[in-house]
Amino acid sequence: MKLAVYNIKGEDTGKTVDLNDEIFAIAEPSEHLVYLDVKQFMANQRQGTHKSKERSEIAGSTKKLGRQKGGGGARHGDIKSPLFHGGGRVFGPRPRNYSFKLNKKMKAIARRSALTFKAQNGQIMVVEDFTFDAPKTKDFVNITKNLKIDGQKILLVLPGHDNNVFLSARNLPNTFVTTASDINTYRVLDNKMMVVTVSSVDALNNLK
């Protein structure tokens, strides 16, 4: 698959790049593996620190409130019973780890499937390599306007970490900057347009 290369002014340079069909046009993309990989990514983001107090953890008297029988009502224990306001919670949430394992081969197929979907939908744009002399959000905004993708959710893929570009895009909503080596299924799908620099294409073409 060939894609045109644009400069940061939004002009077609007349150059093209080749996308590896083994990465961007696999024969049988798997929606199920994409689902599992995204599910694992989101599960790994959960802190799992939610906690409520049960009756043994509530501060209060343990004295039995009334006699066992003959009171004319239901039997009660102490004031920490879940039946009373301020009592402990029954089967409340406890800290837990939500992460789960997914094989490397499955994750690789999921990532290739996601890249295939993006390529099929025409949501990948290739631009010439660029950088900024200093962090400046206005310069990054101008690039998105020149490429006519401003207002969309954007993923910018760089060949390596560029602090000036990262800081220039950090304050923009719906904009995420990553490197080719750190790309994953969730990030590929969680955007409207994926902008890839020329140097990043080689790294993506050699993904395992």
Specify the pLDDT at position 97: 96
Mean pLDDT throughout 21-38?
95
The confidence score (pLDDT) of residue 55 equals 93
| d(C-alpha 114, C-alpha 120), whole Å | 10
Which tops the pLDDT comparison, 206 or 114? 114
Residue 204 to residue 208: CA distance in whole angstroms: 9
Q: How much of the chain exceeds pLDDT 70, in percent?
A: 100
Q: How far is CA 58 from CA 86, 99, 114, in A?
A: 8, 30, 49
Residue 135, pLDDT > 90, answer yes
pLDDT for res 76: 87
Farthest CA pair distance, the chain: 93
Residue 77 near residue 64, CB atoms below 8 Å: yes
β-pairing, 193-197 vs 154-158, is parallel
Summarised one tens digit per residue, pLDDT across range 37-83 is: 999 999 999 999 999 999 999 999 999 999 999 989 888 899 999 99
Model confidence at 126, in pLDDT bands (50, 70, 90)? very high
Mark out the alpha helices in 2-125 (DSSP H runs). Answer: 21-24, 31-45, 104-120
Please say if the pLDDT value at position 207 is more than 90.
no
What confidence score (pLDDT) does residue 208 get? 77
Q: How confident is the model at residue 137 (pLDDT cuts 50, 70, 90)?
A: very high
- Non-local CB neighbours of 39 within 8 Å, separated by 6+ positions: none
- pLDDT above 90 covers what percent of the chain? 94
> Per-residue pLDDT averaged across 179-185, rounded?
94
Instruction: Indicate the domain borders of the chain.
Output: 2-47+98-205, 52-92
pTM equals: 0.82
In the structure encoding, which two tokens stand for residue 100, read together? 């789960």
Q: Mean pLDDT over residues 99-103, rounded?
A: 95
Mean pLDDT score, 18-27: 94
What pLDDT score was predicted for residue 1? 86
Which of residues 39 and 151 earns the better pLDDT score? Answer: 39
CATH number of 2-47+98-205: 3.40.1370.10
Mean pLDDT of 114-133: 95
